[in-house]
Chain A
Amino acid sequence: MNTQNTMLSPELSPESLKKIDREVAKYPADQKQSAVMAALVIAQDEKGWLPKETIAAVATYLGMAPMAAYEVASFYNMYDLHPVGKYKITVCTNLPCALSGGVHAADYVKHKLGVDFNETTADGKFTLKEGECMGACGDAPVMLVNNKRMCSFMLPEQIDALLAECK
């Protein structure tokens, strides 16, 4: 587990704040809250997950109630409210993927890593999550690595290669 993350300061780095400013600029001046989704992603990228202090810091930066930011962070399921491994692998098991092996791919990863959904390997490297439709059903089975990288056609060989690549 990435426990050392809890020790980090809730404050965001200047680089992250710059990225958030870029998001804020997309919206009307009195609508800074619109940037909260992007800002939480930027914060999550920096901290590895979203400790409550970080959520509060993002809220304060955007001039919104921390509770309103927490509502957002807990509503959208790609925000991590608990520490995750270095690689978070999310497997789509929805019906179209399942028809082409999504569930079997998840079982395969579980077997390989020795963890179930929502668990992290003992070395803190992998966290496995069950995902909902990623909008790539034609590429089934699909997986997301750390939310942002989509992996298509994940048959056993491809899964083996992916896990080997994650150092």
Chain B
Amino acid sequence: MVEIEIDGKTLQVEDGSTVIEAAHKLGTYIPHFCYHKKLSIAANCRMCLVQVEKAPKPMPACATTVTNGMKVFTHSDLAVKAQKAVMEFLLINHPLDCPICDQGGECQLQDLAVGYGESASKYEEEKRVVPDKDLGPLVATDMTRCINCTRCVRFTAEIAGFQELGQSYRGERAEVMPFIGKTVDTELSGNIIDLCPVGALTSKPFRFSARTWELSRRKSVSPHDGLGSNLIVQTKHDKVLRVLPLENEDINECWLSDKERFSYQGLGSADRLTKPMVKQGGEWKEVDWNVALDYAAHALRDVATTHGGAAIGGLLSPHSTVEELYLAQKLLRGLGSDSVDFRLRQSDFSADGKRAGIPSLGMKIADISGLDRVLVVGSFLRKDHPLIAQRLRQSAKKGAQVCILHSANDELLINLTARAVAAPSQLPALLAQVVKAVCALKGASADAALSALTVSAEAQAIAQSLASGSNTAVLLGNFAQQHPQAATLQALAGQLAKALGGKFGFLGEAANSVGGYVAKAVPSGSGLNAAAMLKDSRQAYVVLGAEPELDCADGALALAALKKSAVTVVLTPFKSPAMLDYAAVLLPVAPFSETSGSFVNTEGRVQSFYAAAKPLGEARPGWKVLRVLGNLLAINGFEFNSSEDVRSEALGAQAEFVSGLDNGLEGVRLDLSAAGGAVERVADVPIHFADALVRRAPALQKAADSAVPTARMNSAMLKKFGLDAGQLAKVGAGGTAKANLVAQLDAGLPDGVVRISAAHATTLALGPMSAVLSVEKA
């Protein structure tokens, strides 16, 4: 620690701190533009010049390291003169037309110019004009306003992991731009809008729709992946106009993925269901709530009476709130059904009944940054968990070793130490090899089931990396959780963590991947899980927030089952042609922004939020709809006055983290069998197709990550099928199911697989995400 003095106030700060950090500790604001705590120090804007005793020249506070006894003056004549000088230079080529700038009212340059600028400029030469750039559908540019602080450039290179922006040319002609003809395609691109201290980079979807002071703000939580990013939802006249990150160092830091930031556009989709609807005589009619609720209650009661409660299945979206999930399962159980599940994309349920507790990340999210060895198993990490990938990217730069074992070889923009890629059916054996090798390195005895395995070079490299660490973790991604041998992968990850003395856990796919378990939205007793209740189709279904044809592991099967059912009651913010086909009642429930509720994120943290806006049309919060349904069905225990009441019953006493988390597994027999010779499907869930809300966000749907799925395979596979990249492939899966898809070369894929995305209308017909495929030239 060193002691320094800033404007007469002394304080102790850590060695190596900068003056701006020390000042921040004291609550002393030093004006700045280029400095950002998460980015490398550029020291280029020069706004933070301060006086340091004995230094002949003003020093940049952002780049000046404190020394013991240093005296800093942030408001001395020398400092203020320097700051005013810099402000004048910043403004000479900056348009002074704040009233027509989208950043007006929330512009750091505007704010600081009030304090440090002169009322009139002495600059009477012609001002610089910089051509705008097309950065894609999300970020708008007004490059003449750019002050060349390079925050956005450093963000793409350092945080997003690939330098998509640069500062080209030099001197006064320097300009920030992407490579000629390229857009900014990172899944984290929206953060450059927040980082831009001026109006050069603004939100394209939000552009010119409101002034900052016209907006109401509410804290909220992202309803997408399992991270539970903290949000500030901004509304005007009860319409969400913008979503910004709410800084939470333990979760999303100060970032958001583009999905989290721009999905709000889907809230205003034309698909929004704004009135209850019932199908009568094959005709859809908008009806009053009481009519619709009566209809739904009667229909469900009829099925329960006629066929028994077990004839009803509940398919619940893991993006629903804890309160909704809890009441939905309670409703179904009240009707006599234990067939309720929120794990819609899971295909292996053999671990059910064998778990020691609720599966979760197995550590705090923030702990990820402290790991020195990480193995990610079965994950499209960068797209499935953009901000966890970001954490690992930073860790790897600081020396942590990150390895991946997966069925695809996507660019993670993480400096990986080792990777092993194999067809899905071979993943368990490959992970088992790592376990075996680690046990050998650690002198631990390995599971007898692994004795026959030969350790491959890739597995050995991963094992060596892991065994050399002192703080290790194995993280099972969405693909591992959706895998047909998911229980085996989990068991192996557990063995591996045990041998390493490390941790293991799941990267939660959805906002309530942990919360669903806590809310008991899983089958019990003889109840059927999500896959079984589709395979063995039910007389009636209650669907909450999901589009089963896109959200289930086997969309085709889901669609068939729903169509076959006598009654399907759908509680949903959105209607779709498919729903109109299979449903009997559509009840408009509020999306996350229009209801209070809670998500339990992947680390088990309970995060509750309030509605940011009034429900659209006649939509109502899901918990209220379910409560009334419960009342109508005369089920006991539905006397709730608020969502907090529901939460209390679902989660018990209020706590920061839920209890009962345990990734332990007992009695799972390792299944190391691998399919031979068949062409296996590798299905990712593309980032912008993963849930009902994001699928309806128009700007995101124009982004590079929203491309129409193709049939991706390596060159040997292309050759095998006589295909050239770009040609149309006829892909079949089990019998008559087929889809025509463009063949695409993906050199990173292993032999024996074709990668075809799920959750998209064009691939729905192919059935299960883990299908065996046939491919031929169309």
- A contacting B, Cβ–Cβ less than 8 Å: yes
Give chain A's interface residues, CB within 8 Å of chain B.
52, 56, 65-68, 70-71, 74-75
Closest to A74 in B: B168
10 contacts across the A-B interface (CB closer than 8 A): A52-B179, A65-B162, A65-B179, A67-B166, A67-B182, A68-B157, A68-B163, A70-B168, A70-B180, A75-B170
Q: Are B168 and A75 in contact (CB under 8 A)?
A: yes
Does B165 reach chain A (CB closer than 8 Å)?
A: yes
Give Cα A75 to B168, complex, Å: 6
With A52-B179, A52-B181, A56-B179 known as contacts, the answer to whether A67 contacts B163 (CB < 8 A) is yes
- Residues in B with CB closer than 8 Å to A71 are 166-168
Interface of A is mostly: helix
14 additional contacts, CB 8 Å, given A65-B163, A67-B166, A68-B166? A52-B179, A65-B157, A65-B162, A65-B166, A66-B179, A66-B182, A67-B165, A67-B178, A67-B179, A68-B163, A70-B179, A74-B168, A74-B169, A75-B169
* Chain A residues whose CB sits within 8 angstroms of the CB of B169 once the complex forms: 74-75
Contacting A at CB under 8 A, from B136-163, are 157, 162-163
Cα A68 to Cα B157 with chains together (Å): 10
CB within 8 Å of A: which residues of B?
Answer: 157, 162-170, 178-182
Chain B residues lying within 8 Å of A70, measured Cβ to Cβ, are 166, 168, 179-180
* Measured CA separation A56–B164 after assembly (Å): 12
CB closest chain-B residue, reference A69? B179
**Nearest Cβ on chain A to B456's Cβ, whole angstroms:** 26
Cα–Cα, bound, A65→B181 (Å)? 14
Q: Which residues of A contact B166 (CB under 8 A)?
A: 65, 67-68, 70-71
State in angstroms the CA–CA spacing of A71 and B167 once bound together.
6
Residues of B within 8 A of A67 (CB): 163-166, 178-179, 182
- Say how far A13's CB is from chain B's closest CB, in angstroms: 23
In the bound complex, CA of A52 to CA of B177 (Å): 14
How far does the alpha carbon of A65 sit from the alpha carbon of B185 in the complex, in Å? 13
Closest to B157 in A: A65
A65 to B180, CA, bound (A): 12
Nearest-CB residue, chain B, relative to A59? B179
State in angstroms the CA–CA spacing of A128 and B391 once bound together: 51
A52 contacts across to B, CB distance below 8 A: 179-181
Residues of A within 8 A of B162 (CB): 65
Chain A residue numbers with a CB within 8 Å of B165 are 67
List the B residue with the shortest CB-CB distance to A66.
B179
Please list the 3 inter-chain residue pairs (A to B) with the smallest Cβ-Cβ separation, ordered nearest first.
A65-B163, A67-B166, A74-B168
Compute the total of residue contacts between A and B using a CB distance below 8 Å: 35
A72 to chain B, nearest CB (A): 9
Q: A71–B181 Cα gap in the complex (Å)? A: 15
Q: Which residue of B lies closest to A56 (CB)?
A: B179
A75 to B166 alpha-carbon distance, docked (Å)? 11
Bound CA span A68–B166, Å = 7
Q: Give A65 to B166 CA distance when docked, in angstroms.
A: 10
Nearest chain A CB to B119's CB is how many angstroms away? 37
Tell me the nearest residue of chain B to A52, going by C-beta. B180
Q: From residue B412, how far is it (CB to closest CB) to chain A in Å?
A: 15
The distance from the CB of B130 to the nearest CB of chain A, in whole angstroms, is 14
Residues of the B chain whose Cβ atoms lie less than 8 Å from the Cβ of A74:
168-170
Chain B residues near A56 (CB, 8 Å)?
179
Residues of A within 8 A of B178 (CB): 67
Shortest C-beta distance, A71 to chain B (Å), equals 4
Q: For the complex, what is the distance from the CA of A66 to the CA of B162, rounded to whole Å?
A: 10
**Cα of A56 to Cα of B182 in the assembled complex, Å:** 11
Smallest Cβ-Cβ distance to A68: which chain B residue: B163
Chain A residues with CB under 8 Å of B157's CB are 65, 68
With both chains docked as a complex, state the minimum distance between the C-beta of B334 and any C-beta of chain A, in angstroms: 58
Residues of chain A contacted by B181 (CB below 8 angstroms): 52
Q: How many Å from the CB of A95 to the closest CB on chain B?
A: 18
A65 contacts B168, CB within 8 Å?
no
CB distance from B639 to the nearest CB of A (A): 60
Cα A74 to Cα B179 in complex, Å, equals 11
CB distance from B493 to the nearest CB of A (A): 32
Q: Bound complex: CA of A148 vs CA of B157, how far in Å?
A: 34
How distant is the Cα of A70 from the Cα of B162 in the complex, in angstroms? 14
User: Which residues of chain B come closer than 8 Å to A68, judged between CB atoms?
Assistant: 157, 163, 166
Closest residue on chain B to residue A65 by CB atoms: B163
In the bound complex, do residue A65 and residue B167 qualify as a contact, i.e. CB atoms below 8 Å apart? Answer: no
Query: Complex Cα distance A71/B153, Å?
Result: 11
Instruction: With CB as the reference atom, state the residue of chain B lying closest to A77.
Output: B170
Instruction: Give Cα A71 to B156, complex, Å.
Output: 14
B393 to chain A, nearest CB (A): 15
Q: Cα distance A52–B157 when bound, in Å? A: 20
Measured in the bound complex, the distance between the Cα atoms of B182 and A70 in whole Å is: 12
The residue of chain B having its C-beta at the shortest distance from the C-beta of A75 within the complex is B170
What's the Cα separation between A142 and B163 when bound, in Å? 39
What is the bound-complex CA distance between A137 and B170, given in angstroms?
Answer: 24
Docked CA distance A66–B167 (Å): 12
Most B-side CB within 10 Å, residue of A65, A67, A75: A67
Q: Which residue of A lies closest to B170 (CB)?
A: A75
Nearest CB in chain A: distance from B772 CB, A: 36
CA distance A67 to B101 in the complex (A): 28
Report the minimal beta-carbon distance from B737 to chain A, rounded to whole angstroms: 39
Neighbouring B residues of A66 by C-beta, 8 Å: 179, 182
When chains A and B are docked, how far (Å) is the Cα of A56 from the Cα of B179?
9
Which chain B residue shows the least CB distance to A76?
A: B170
B159: shortest Cβ distance to chain A, in Å?
14
Question: How distant is the Cα of A71 from the Cα of B169 in the complex, in angstroms?
Answer: 7
Q: Which residue of A lies closest to B168 (CB)?
A: A74
Residue of A nearest to B162 (CB): A65
Q: Which residues of chain A are near B182, meaning CB under 8 Å?
A: 66-67
Q: Which residues of A contact B164 (CB under 8 A)?
A: 65, 67
Instruction: State the CA gap A75–B170 with chains docked (Å).
Output: 6
Closest chain A CB from B396 CB (angstroms): 15
Q: In the complex, what residues of A have CB within 8 A of residue B167's CB?
A: 71
Instruction: Please give me the residue from chain A that is nearest to B167 by CB atom.
Output: A71
How far apart are the CA atoms of A70 and B164 in the complex, in Å?
Answer: 11
| Of listed B163, B170, B179, residue having the most chain A CB within 10 A | B179
CA distance A56 to B178 in the complex (A): 12
Closest Cβ neighbor of B175 among chain A residues: A74
A74 to B170, CA, bound (A): 8
Nearest Cβ distance between residue B760 and chain A, in whole angstroms? Answer: 30
A74 to B180, CA, bound (A): 12
* Closest residue of A by beta carbon distance from B178: A67
The smallest C-beta distance from B175 to any residue of chain A, in angstroms, reads 9
Q: How far is the CA of A35 from the CA of B167 in the complex (A)?
A: 20
Q: Which of B162, B166, B169 has the most CB of A within 10 A?
A: B166
Docked CA distance A28–B163 (Å):
22
- Bound-state CA distance A74–B181 (Å) is 15
Cα distance A159–B163 in the bound complex, in angstroms: 45
Q: How far is the CA of A68 from the CA of B182 in the complex (A)?
A: 13
Min CB distance, B441 to chain A, in Å? 27
Distance in Å: Cβ of B166 to nearest Cβ of chain A? 4
Q: How far is the CA of A12 from the CA of B518 in the complex (A)?
A: 60
CB distance from B415 to the nearest CB of A (A): 11
Residues of A within 8 A of B179 (CB): 52, 56, 65-67, 70
Residue of A nearest to B165 (CB): A67
Q: In the complex, what distance in Å separates the CA atom of A74 from the CA atom of B178?
A: 13
B168 cross-chain contacts in A, Cβ below 8 A: 70-71, 74-75
> How far apart sit A66 and B165, CA to CA, in the bound complex (Å)?
10
Complex CA distance for A71 and B179, rounded to whole angstroms? 9
Nearest Cβ on chain B to A68's Cβ, whole angstroms: 5
Query: Once the chains are docked, how many angstroms separate the CA of A71 from the CA of B180?
Result: 11
In the complex the two chains form, what is the Cα distance from A52 to B164 in whole Å?
Answer: 15
Residues of A within 8 A of B170 (CB): 74-75
Nearest CB of chain B from residue A122's CB, rounded to whole Å: 27
Q: How far is the CB of B195 from chain A (nearest CB, A)?
A: 17
- A74, B175: Cα distance in complex, Å: 10
Shortest CB distance B450–A (Å): 36
From residue A80, how far is it (CB to closest CB) to chain B in Å?
A: 14
A67–B162 Cα distance when bound, in Å, is 9
Tell me the nearest residue of chain A to B171, going by C-beta.
A75
In whole Å, how far is A118's beta carbon from the nearest beta carbon of chain B? 14
A68 to B164, CA, bound (A): 8
Q: Chain A nearest CB: distance from B35 CB in Å?
A: 21
